[in-house]
Structure 1
Amino acid sequence: MSRICELTGKGRQVGNNVSHANNKTKRVFLPNLQNVTLMSESLDRRVKFRVSTQGLRSVEHVGGLDNWLAKTSDDKLSTKAQKLKREIAKAQAAN
């Protein structure tokens, strides 16, 4: 399972550990991913995602999963999220 947020596209970053003697060794910074269940209001069902904590706060700030998916470009979203975005668009167009 890859370490990438399904809603924001946030992934791992590479940097250095720097010791007191200024020795540098490579290290990896991983995002804080959580398994969460988010509610889609237009589809009236729950969807499970693997989301970073920053992404989860962003989704709540924007006003929910449906608004977040509508405003986010497809290149940041996972394939599961892109499919859900299309389902939500169809449901909103039907109403």
Structure 2
Amino acid sequence: MSRICELTGKGRQVGNNVSHANNKTKRTFLPNLQNVTLMSDVLERSVRLRVSTHGLRSVEHNGGLDNWLVKTSDDKLSLRARRLKRDVVKKRSTTETATAA
């Protein structure tokens, strides 16, 4: 399982450990990924995703998973998140046309 956030696309970064003697050795910086269950209000079901804590804060700041998915571009999202976004947009459009008629 790759260490990439399914919502933000945040992955590992590479850098150096620098000693007191200024010796440099390669190291990796991993994102703080958590397995979370987020509730989709439009789909009325819960979704399990592997999300970074930064991504989780962003979702809460935007008012929930549905709003976050609609605002985010597809190139950042994982395949599962893109499918979820497609379902949310489809369901939103059908409910809006039903309430307008």
Pair in the same fold by TM > 0.5: yes
Q: Which amino acid in structure 2 is aligned with residue 76 of structure 1?
A: K
Consecutive unaligned residues of structure 2, counting only runs of 5 or more, are 96-101
1:55 aligns with 2:55: yes
Give aligned-pair identity as a percent.
77
**1:1-95 equivalence runs, <5 A:** 1-95=1-95
Deviations 1:5-51 (A, max 9, x none): 00000000000000000000000000000000000000000000000
- For residues 11 and 39 of structure 1, what CA distance do their matches in structure 2 show? 24
Consecutive unaligned residues of structure 1, counting only runs of 5 or more, are none
Runs of 4+ in structure 1 deviating by more than 2 angstroms, as ranges, are: none
Secondary structure of the 1:35 match is: strand
Bigger Rg over Cα: 2
Offset, 1:4: 0.1
- For residues 87 and 21 of structure 1, what CA distance do their matches in structure 2 show? 55
* CA RMSD in angstroms, aligned pairs only: 0.3
Deviations 1:60-84 (A, max 9, x none): 0010000000000000000000000
Matched residue pairs, number?
Answer: 95
Give TM-score, length-normalised by structure 1: 0.99
